[in-house]
Amino acid sequence: MKSKRYFFAVALALMLPFSAGAELYHSGGKTWSSIMDGRGLYGRGLPNSPHTISLVLSPIYYSGDVELPGNWITGNKDHATTNLYTAIPGVNSKANSISFSGALQYTYRANKHLAYRAQFMGGYMRGHTEFTRPHEKSNGYQSTSYFLRDFHSVFFEYGVGLEIYPSAEAGFFFYAGISGTSSIITRKLQSLSMPGQVASPNKSDYHLDYELPASEQKIFSTVPMIPVGIGYKWNIKAFQIGIELIWHPALVDLHHMNLDGWVSGNIDQAGISHYPVEGKTNRWTDSFTELGISIGYTIPTLYTP
C-alpha cells in the first residue's frame, strides 16, 4: 500500500544522523557556524539558532463517517445504489465539522534545506448529520426512516516529521510526518421511522426504532496518522512566525482505530445499517485538516572555539 511505503520512507529519513546539520569551521582564531541567523548572517552567537520552540493555534476541519457525502461546492451527494436520502435543512452545515486545536512544537534546523520536528497537539473535534430515507420492504410496506449521527471528542496527536525547504533563502517548506492520535469520543446514533414515503423534516413526526446504548456512547480510540502539508516561516530576530496548512489522514479506519467512533461504510458494530454511504464508495479514511498559526522562540546558542 502507498500509505505503508510513505510511513517507512519518513521513518527512515528521521533516522538519518544529525551530522548533516550545522558545520563548524575556524576563521580568524574563532569558530563559526554554517547556519545563518535571522538576519541571514553567519556567526558565533546565533540569535536564531537551530533550536526553536513554537506554540501553534489552529482551526481544524474534520472529514469522515459523520458527514454526508459531498463537498463545499457541489453540496451533498448520495452514492448509494438505491433509496436516495434527503439531508435535513439547517442541521447539516459543513460548519458542524469545524473546531480547534493547539500544539507545542520543537524544531531542529539540521541544515539550510532540512528541519526535524517533534509535536504534541491537543484539541476538540466534532461532526453531525441528520437525514431521511424512504424504504420499501419485500411485502410492499413503505416507510421513511430518519437517521441522526453525531460525535464530539477530545483528541491528542503526538508525532515527528520533516520540514523540507526547497530554497535556502526562503521560509517556504513542505512537511511530511508520522503520528498517532488518541481520542476520547462521545457519540450519538438514532434511527426513527414513520409510515409512508412522504418524508417529514420534523423529527417529532417519527417514532424511535433504535438508539445507541449508553455503554457504547463513550469510547477510546487510537489511530496512526500520516500528516502532510505546506507552510512558511519568518524569522524576526529571536522569534519566528509561521503559517501552515496540514492534512492529517488516518492510515486505517477500524473499530477503536479511527477519529469519529465509526468505521467506513454503513454498518455499525452490531451489524446494523444506519448510514447512507456504501462501504465501497467511501474512498478515504477519517482525517482532519488544520490551518495553523505559529509563534516560536529560537533558543540562543553560543558556538565557542
**pLDDT (tens digit per residue) in 203-252:** 999 999 889 899 889 999 999 999 999 999 998 888 999 999 999 999 99
Q: Please tell me the distance from the alpha carbon of residue 65 to that of residue 62, in angstroms, as a whole number.
A: 10
Q: Is 186 helix (H, G, I), strand (E, B) or coil?
A: strand
pLDDT at residue 97 in the model: 93
Q: Which residues pair with 143 in a beta bridge?
A: 135, 195
Interval 153-158 mean pLDDT:
98
Strand 301-302 relative to strand 218-225, pairing: unpaired
CA distance 232 to 1: 30
Taking a C-beta distance cutoff of 8 angstroms, is the pair 153, 172 a contact? no
Q: Quickly state the pLDDT bin for 268 (edges 50, 70, 90).
A: low
pLDDT confidence of residue 65:
86
Burial status of residue 168 (CB atoms within 10 A of its CB: 0-12, 13-18, 19 or more)? exposed
* Distance separating alpha carbons of residues 88 and 94, to the nearest angstrom: 13
Listed residue (202, 257, 197, 195) closest to 224, CA to CA: 257
Per-residue pLDDT band at 284 (split at 50, 70, 90): confident
pLDDT at site 30: 44
Cell numbers linked to 101: 486545536
Assess whether pLDDT exceeds 60 at residue 164.
Answer: yes
94-134, pLDDT tens digit by residue? Answer: 889 999 999 999 999 998 899 999 999 999 999 999 988 88
Question: Half-sphere exposure of residue 137, counting CA atoms within 13 Å on the CB side?
Answer: 8
Residue 63 to residue 258: CA distance in whole angstroms: 11
Higher pLDDT, 146 or 141: 146
Return the H-helix or E-strand segment holding 9: helix 2-14
Task: Report the pLDDT value the prediction gives residue 42, as an integer from 0 to 100.
Answer: 45
- Altogether, the residues listed in the chain come to a count of 305
Q: Considering the entire predicted model, what is its pTM?
A: 0.79
Q: Mean pLDDT over residues 280-286, rounded?
A: 69
pLDDT at 154 over 90: yes
Residue with cell string 488516518: 250
Three cell numbers written together for 71: 463537498
Rounded to whole angstroms, the Cα distance separating 244 from 240 reads: 13
Q: Which helix (H) or strand (E) holds 250?
A: none
**Model confidence band, residue 2 (pLDDT cutoffs 50, 70, 90):** low
Grid coordinates standing for 11?
Answer: 521513518
Higher-pLDDT residue of 195, 151? 151
